[in-house]
Amino acid sequence: MSHGDGDHERFAHYVQKDKIMASALDGTPVVALCGKVWVPGRDPKKYPVCPMCKEIYESMGPGGDKDKGGKGE
């Protein structure tokens, strides 16, 4: 699990949408599908999607957790 260093900084990560909203309101850290833990602060649209998050999300299929589709930083 990464805590804000290395390759994880170069990607936008998949995070539960409700967790992103909570973090925006109270500054609580979020956990991406790949395991990265951080407090979002940058525009995720400026970064490519984390390959590990994307692979996990795509493997979830149609019956997966529908909330896990928002991109955090």
Q: Residue with structure tokens 């992103």?
A: 20
Identify the band that residue 4 occupies on the pLDDT scale cut at 50, 70 and 90. very low
- pLDDT confidence of residue 61: 77
Q: Which residues pair with 37 in a beta bridge?
A: 31
Give pTM, 2 decimals. 0.68
By CB neighbour count within 10 A (0-12 exposed, 13-18 middle, 19+ buried), where does 34 fall? buried
* Tens digits of residue pLDDT in 41-70: 888 899 999 999 999 999 997 755 544 455
pLDDT digits (tens, 9 = 90+) for 26-35: 999 999 999 9
CA distance 38 to 66: 21
| Cβ count near 54 (within 10 Å) | 17
Q: Which two tokens stand for residue 12?
A: 């936008």
CA-angle at 5, arms to 55 and 23, nearest 5°: 75
